[in-house]
Chain A
Amino acid sequence: MSDLPLIEVRDLRKQFGHVIALAGVSLRVHAGEVLCLLGDNGAGKSTLIKTLSGVHKPTEGEFLAEGKSVAFASPRDALDAGIATVYQDLAMIPLMSITRNFFMGREPAKGVWPFKRVDFRSCDDIVHDEMRRIGIDVRDPTQAVGTLSGGERQCVAIARAVYFGAKVLILDEPTSALGVAQTSMVLKYINQVRAKGLGVIFITHNVRHAYAVGDRFTVLNRGRTIADAAKREIGIDELQTLMAGGKELQEVSAELAGMV
């Protein structure tokens, strides 16, 4: 783990007119580290992701990428700086093949205009190899993305970001719609991505999923960072409590005999 964080934000604020969406958020993510961003609905997670990925500009606060202050004008800038975001809706098209989705918008063209073409066959091979590397057996990269399971789709989306040179991956609730087996597939892959030396910001509201792969935990509430701790400093129950903002959930949890 190098000492210079890949991304660091300090006291980030974002206002939309009178609405204060972020009222001072700080976080850091290093290479080879999974930072879990926890928070209930409305805590400001989405705004924060969109600010980090260049969709929104922060109203105030510092935003450093590898120690240098940055101001992204568009998601493209963030992408160029190595910050890739995998949104919940995945930006995948079910009717298109895995390969065509994988390279969508970044198709490698060869030849001279007007004979510029894409060698989709070698693209198929690349996709096949990339997916096998992460343990997903894509029998046929020309099959439509719609035929993949939710977990596999998520992994294709992550693999795409990694392949195109992301240094920091922002994953927006990658496990929220998945079953148990699918979730473990995705979590396993997040683990692999970390081992490759990427920084990961893992957004979730499932504390168990977070605790399974996270190195650090940042908890947001009402647009503020209310906790920031390494794994050894904090327990899973404490995280749960922080995230839910206290009492209510504990009461429910007691009622349900600790099932939440």
Chain B
Amino acid sequence: MATAPGKKPVHDERLTDISWLHRAMRRPELGAVGGLIVVILFFAATASATMFSVAGIMTVLRPAAELGIMSVTAALLMIGGEFDLSIGSMVAFAGLIFGVLLVNLHLPMILAVLGTLIMAGLFGALNGQLVIRTKLPSFIVTLAFLFILRGLSLVGLKLATGGNTILSGVAPAGKPGFADHLFSGDTLTGLFSWLTAHGMIATLPNGKPSVHGVPISVVWFVTITALATWVLLRTRFGNWIFASGGDANAARNSGVPVNRVKTILFVCTALSAALVAIITSLDTASTDALRGLQMEFEAIIAAVIGGCLLTGGYGSAIGAFFGALIFGTVEIGLTYTNFDSDWFQVFLGAMLLIAVMFNNAVRRRVTGER
């Protein structure tokens, strides 16, 4: 399109000529933003107004953030050309490790968190190394770990609790410290009580504010998305991610350390799953063997809705952010409507299908595939 003969612009500053619309069309997250708008409009029309109150929005954001933390790293890994199907099971497994360190071994919060992250990181590195060394598709290798980790979580929980598959009492011992505030509770509580005092947030019948603050998971979600986007678009490592997923061979020929990039990305997906495990365990003061069930698929679907290609080399972290928001909005939003909330699954599949078809069309446009 740029080189149609006889149509060359004469002046020199052509860089600014590309229309805003054309640029927007080329962004991978376009579909997800559009999808979110459609979904919000749908619920604006069908759901009760409380869904769009501050309290309602926080209810939507919490599950969206928990999924989103994982979908952003899953998106990076997909752009890098690999899948990680083990992250859902990793949530249960990391929850188990965290629970045992905190409850059974009575470690301080900070050590329990570090221990959990290190363990998860090691499994991520193992996934990556297995994929690289065996040259098997990551789909298969991590599918194996989907079962291995889920099984280990069940067995481990029974060992740790003497037969149960739920470990309760996962809460900081004594007065919450700095580490506790990083992984549990709400933030901006001051702002929220101020807003309540000024009548901008509804109060419960007993006079307390209906919502205390922004869940900490939302803060992590936004921070991780911002960080991932910066890395992807503004750093060498980001360029290497695109290159590794676009064509690993070409990348290697150009001096990109493809194996290192992929291993780091596998470690990141495992770490994000562990982070979700820590946050949700503290949130519910327990961990169980079914934590994170099917979240690997939801994370991948959110990434795909966000514009990631299944073949790698293309996508965005912001797209996965919006993909996760769509998820949370629909999952929670349905409970504010008269629809059966089990429509969620139907929606999920349909959304995935539409997203993949849309992405393929966009790819053809972007690459000028003829």
Bound Cα distance from A143 to B14, whole angstroms: 13
Q: Which residue of B lies closest to A151 (CB)?
A: B3
Partner of B14, one of A104, A106, A139: A139
- Write the nearest CB–CB distance from B243 to chain A, whole angstroms: 5
Cβ of A95 and Cβ of B254 under 8 Å apart?
Answer: no
Instruction: Count residues of A near B (Cβ-Cβ below 8 Å).
Output: 39
Bound Cα distance from A138 to B3, whole angstroms: 8
Q: How far is the CA of A149 from the CA of B256 in the complex (A)?
A: 25
Q: Does B246 contact A (CB under 8 A)?
A: yes
Say whether, besides A95-B363, A95-B367, A149-B3, A105 and B254 are in contact (CB < 8 Å).
yes
Chain B residues in 8 Å Cβ range of A124? 15
How far apart are A233's CB and chain B's nearest CB, in angstroms? 36
Residue of A nearest to B18 (CB): A140
- Asked whether A96 is an interface residue with its Cβ less than 8 Å from the other chain, the reply is yes
B133: A residues at CB distance < 8 A: none
The answer on a CB contact under 8 Å between B250 and A140 is: no
Chain B nearest Cβ from A20, distance in angstroms: 27
Q: Is the CB of B243 within 8 A of A105?
A: yes
Does B1 sit at the interface, judged by CB under 8 A? yes
A74 to chain B, nearest CB (A): 10
Tell me if A100 and B239 are in contact (CB < 8 A).
yes
Looking at the complex, which one of B15, B238, B367 makes contact with A140 (CB distance below 8 Å)? Answer: B15
Is the CB of A255 closer than 8 A to any CB of chain B?
Answer: no
Knowing A106-B255, A140-B14, A140-B18 touch, does A93 contact B235 (C-beta < 8 A)?
A: no
A30 to B: closest C-beta gap in Å: 27
At the interface, yes or no: A90 with Cβ under 8 Å from chain B? yes
Q: Is B134 an interface residue (CB 8 A)?
A: no
> Which residue in B9, B234, B255 is a CB contact (below 8 Å) of A120?
B234
A137-B243 CB under 8 A given contacts A104-B256, A105-B255: no
CB of A92 closer than 8 Å to a CB of B: yes
Residues of B within 8 A of A23 (CB): none
Is A103 at the interface (CB under 8 A from chain B)?
yes
Residue interface bits B1-13, CB-to-A below 8 A is 1, else 0: 1110000110000
Residue pairs across A and B with CB atoms within 8 Å: the count is 107
Please pick, from A90, A96, A148, the residue contacting B246 in the complex, using a CB distance under 8 A: A96
Nearest-neighbor residue (CB-CB) of B14 within chain A: A139
Q: How far is the CB of A205 from chain B (nearest CB, A)?
A: 23
Point out the residue from A120, A141, A146 that lies within 8 Å of B367, measured CB to CB.
A146
User: Which one of B2, B243, B246, B367 lies within 8 Å of A138 (CB-CB)?
Assistant: B2
Q: Which residues of A contact B249 (CB under 8 A)?
A: 89, 91
Q: Across the interface, do A146 and B251 meet the contact criterion of CB distance under 8 Å?
A: no
Q: How far, in Å, is B239 (CB) from chain A's closest CB? A: 5
CB-CB under 8 A from B256, the residues of chain A are: 104-105
Select which of A76, A93, A94 is within 8 A of B255 by beta carbon: A76
Residue in contact with A100 in the complex, picked from B1, B26, B242, B367, CB distance below 8 Å: B242
Report A75 CB to chain B, min CB distance, Å: 8
Chain B interface size, under 10 / 10 to 19 / 20 to 34 / 35 or more: 35 or more
Contact B314 A117 (CB under 8 A): no
Across the two chains, which residue of chain B brings its CB closest to A114?
Answer: B235
A118 to B250, CA, bound (A): 21
Give the residues from 92 to 143 in chain A that come closer than 8 angstroms, CB to CB, to chain B. Answer: 92-96, 100, 103-107, 109, 116-118, 120, 124-125, 128, 137-143
Beta-carbon contact of A91 and B254 below 8 Å: yes
A87 adjacent to chain B (CB < 8 Å): yes
Q: Would you call A152 an interface residue if the criterion is a C-beta within 8 Å of the partner chain's C-beta atoms?
A: yes
Specify which chain B residues have a CB less than 8 angstroms from the CB of A149 in the assembled complex: 3
Contact of B250 among A91, A106, A137, A139 (CB under 8 A): A91
Q: Is the CB of A118 within 8 A of B235?
A: yes
Q: How far is the CB of B310 from chain A (nearest CB, A)?
A: 13
Report the separation of the CA atoms of residues A139 and B233 in the bound assembly, to the nearest whole angstrom.
Answer: 21
Residue A71 CB within 8 A of the other chain: no
A106–B314 Cα gap in the complex (Å)? 20
* Nearest-Cβ distance from residue B236 to partner chain A, whole angstroms: 4
A144 at the interface (CB under 8 A from B): yes
Tell whether, in the assembled complex, residue B366 and residue A146 are in contact, meaning their CB atoms are under 8 Å apart: yes
- Name the residue of chain A whose CB is nearest to the CB of B250: A91
A91 touches which of B240, B253, B313 (Cβ 8 Å): B253
Q: Which residues on A sit within 8 Å (CB–CB) of B309?
A: 95
Residues of A contacting B236 in the complex (Cβ-Cβ under 8 angstroms) = 107, 109, 116, 118
Task: Quote the shortest CB–CB distance from B254 to chain A (angstroms).
Answer: 4
Answer yes or no: B247 CB below 8 A from chain A CBs. Answer: yes
- Which B residues are in CB contact (< 8 Å) with A107? 236, 239
A176 at interface by CB-CB < 8 Å: no
Give min CB distance, A181 to chain B, whole Å. Answer: 9
Given A140-B2, A144-B367, A147-B367; A92-B250 close (CB under 8 Å) = yes
A95 and B313 form a contact (CB under 8 A): yes
Residues of A within 8 A of B234 (CB): 117-118, 120
State the Cβ distance, A169 to closest chain B Cβ, in Å.
15
Q: Which residues of the partner chain A approach B368 to less than 8 Å between Cβ atoms?
A: 144, 146-148
B369 within 8 A of A: yes
- Rounded to whole Å, the gap between the CB of B307 and the closest CB of chain A is 12
Bound Cα distance from A103 to B240, whole angstroms: 10
Additional 14 contacts, C-beta under 8 A, given A91-B254, A139-B3: A91-B249, A92-B250, A95-B313, A104-B239, A105-B254, A109-B236, A116-B235, A139-B2, A139-B9, A140-B18, A142-B26, A144-B366, A146-B369, A147-B2
Contacts from A to B (Cβ < 8 Å): 75-76, 87, 89-96, 100, 103-107, 109, 116-118, 120, 124-125, 128, 137-149, 152
Q: 9 interchain pairs (CB within 8 A)? A: A93-B242, A104-B254, A105-B251, A117-B234, A118-B234, A137-B14, A139-B9, A139-B18, A140-B17
A-B residue pairs, 3 tightest by C-beta? A146-B367, A105-B255, A93-B246
